[in-house]
Structure 1
């Protein structure tokens, strides 16, 4: 989420470009590609929110697509990508956040199929409402699937990345909750830079 349509569009385009570069750097290591492609998903998400701003919020197609990416898609994508990229020794324990992601994604997908998600422009923020039952449990499952999978990955780089995501999410949520300004797009850009640098460092040297 960003503080205006222009900011969302610019941030989304920049994040998506970093995603393309990260996927290119991960070429040759299929297990890394889903995680390297995460900035592509985040970039598309920001661009979709620019359309939400443009239409003044409401329950339209852009709002629904934003929610599909933010909720069921990321709840499943992140733990799956981490499982693919993590060391083999960590994969058994990563089944826990993966199972949480599958269950959470199913609940969120059902909610989006049976309820109407709406967006409301609130100054420099956009508020989304879905009216989830047992929302607290869904949030716990979502955090276990996304941040939890990174922290349990057994890879020092991914654990540090998980801490970065957790701090950014907490700060962004606090500012958004006060309806001051949405800053997640800036943090998503920083996280995308970190991922890009990770995959560039891991890129094999060219053959002589």
Structure 2
């Protein structure tokens, strides 16, 4: 988490456990990318725990709390490049409604363009993370997260909200609310704060697949169960 090492590791353990349970519930290959999201979020939180340990060690030795290196670049890559790519495409991949699939192509391609741009940003050598007001502040020189907030929200929040699955819609709406709260709490560190909120919201993905499994047990139809909006 963005708050301290202990919280990061505890959060990572909870989300990773939910991720393993989610994958165990998958019944269709098209669902695998979306089902992997809790594992990715959990691993991301674990990385922040390691970052906190390194920063705390610097503080104990009287050093300035500031880190650079491959692990910092990897965190930024996952947060700013991978999430806007994998979230909309994973929703598109398992969407059963043809019309919604067409609509989902818009946020999916926006996420792809954002991914390409952020991959360029990630290779810049001066990326660093420091402690700012008790939270982790990831800094990319010459880059302002606010400038990409709209396409990022479109890819990571609006795309799930366009799904025909109830729980997936909840993930999208929840992510939007979490991002707004994170920005209100601290506009400089909101990426780290949002990733923490989003990690726990990804547990809803487990509930989605649990609901799918229970629906399958109630019907003899061997095809993947669906719970489109408006169904009883």
Correspondence for 2:97:
88
**3-state SS of paired residue (2:136):** strand
Q: What is the Cα deviation at residue 185 of structure 1?
A: 6.2
| Larger Rg over CA atoms | 2
Q: What is the Cα deviation at residue 39 of structure 1?
A: 0.6
Cα distance change of structure 1 residues 120 and 29 upon mapping to structure 2, 3 Å threshold: same
Q: Which runs of 4+ in 1 moved over 6 A?
A: none
Give the gaps of 5 or more residues in structure 2: 56-65, 221-232
Give me the TM-score of the superposition, normalised by structure 1: 0.88
Q: May I ask how many residue pairs the two structures share in their alignment?
A: 206
How far apart, in 1, do the equivalents of 2:188 and 2:138 lie?
Answer: 14
Q: Do 1:87 and 1:155's aligned partners in 2 also have CA atoms closer than 8 Å?
A: no
Give me the TM-score of the superposition, normalised by structure 2: 0.79
Q: What is the aligned-residue RMSD (CA, Å)?
A: 2.5
Question: CA-to-partner distance for each residue in 1:87-134, whole Å, 9 max, x for gaps?
Answer: 232111111111101100000001111342110112420001113557
1:1-208 matches, cutoff 5 A? 1-26=1-26, 28-56=27-55, 57-89=66-98, 90-133=100-143, 135-177=145-187, 184=194, 187-203=197-213, 204-205=216-217
Give the gaps of 5 or more residues in structure 1: none
Question: CA-to-partner distance for each residue in 1:131-151, whole Å, 9 max, x for gaps?
Answer: 355754432222111112112
How far apart, in 1, do the equivalents of 2:178 and 2:219 lie?
Answer: 39
Q: Do 2:167 and 2:204's aligned partners in 1 also have CA atoms closer than 8 Å?
A: no
Q: Do 1:49 and 1:62's aligned partners in 2 also have CA atoms closer than 8 Å?
A: no
Question: CA-to-partner distance for each residue in 1:182-203, whole Å, 9 max, x for gaps?
Answer: 7546633541331111101101
How far apart, in 2, do the equivalents of 1:71 and 1:189 lie?
Answer: 14
